[in-house]
Amino acid sequence: MDDTETPALPTIAALREHSLTAVVQHEIERMILAGELAPGERLNEKAVADTLKVSRGPVREACRALAELGFVYLIPNRGVFIKKLTKAEAIEVYDLRAGLTGLAAQLLAPMITAEHLDRLEGFVGEMEQAAESADFHRFYPINLEFHDYIVRATGNARLIKLYRGLVKEFHLFRTHGLVQRASLLESNREHREIVVALKAKDGLQAYLFSARHVGNGKERMLSALDDLAEGAPRHRREPEMGRIE
């Protein structure tokens, strides 16, 4: 074949198959992150295919893509299994997130607007209410949005992609720290420090407060895991479970 020959264009069928695989991949990823598919659980390709009303081909292709992303792993002759992030891996993710979160705050500080500050202060106010009532289920999504908002407000597409990839991976860490009201309030106090530094347009302080906040979240997680390992009495803990940063 002539080296200058134009490569054949993909067929309509191939494009449709690729598009369907992407849709299936997105839905399986959503099921994993939502906890509908539990860590360590074997993924039943037929059940997923039946649920999504597709053939097993796109499900297999989606699983291969998800394996490359680290959401599942393949065991020959046994099947596809949902990955569970280990303690050591969770620590690595925490450390990476600390750096990226700090970098995002540092980049945003010199260009932060009144609108940005209004949104961030609104998040902090909502989290304070949730923390006061020890309502983790309300606190956690606002916490995620607070940090994601800072990252996306930088407008740095690569940073946004890297950060969100780490957030998704961290959802695989299902050994949660035990949440206490005091921990939620402490976490939100750290959020306020970040906002104060951003308001002052102090990039260095914004970096330090943000990175330290995630580092403190790691320490809270490790402390909670130590308590679990030592079999601390249940009556000393709040009944809710979850991660806090």
Least confident of 72-81, 201-210, 235-244: 235-244
Residues 99 and 207 reside in one and the same domain: yes
Total domains, the chain: 2
* CATH assignment of the domain containing 224: 1.20.120.530
Answer yes or no: is 192 within a domain: yes
Residues 58 and 123 reside in one and the same domain: no
Full domain range(s) for residue 47: 12-82
Answer yes or no: is 242 within a domain: no
Query: What is the share, in percent, of the chain residues with pLDDT greater than 90?
Result: 48
Q: Which residues does 195 contact at the CB level (< 8 Å), separation at least 6?
A: 117, 120, 121, 124
Residues 176 and 214 reside in one and the same domain: yes
Answer yes or no: is 3 within a domain: no
**Per-residue buried b or exposed e for 23-51, using 16+ beta carbons within 10 Å of the residue's own CB:** ebbebbbebbbeeebebeeebebeebbee
Q: Which of 42, 129, 115 lies closest to 77, judged by CA?
A: 42
Domain end among 53, 82, 111: 82
Residues 91 and 182 reside in one and the same domain: yes
pLDDT of residue 16: 54
List pLDDT tens digits, range 27-56: 888 888 777 888 888 999 999 999 889 999
Residues 48 and 153 reside in one and the same domain: no
pLDDT of residue 230: 64
Answer yes or no: is 134 within a domain: yes
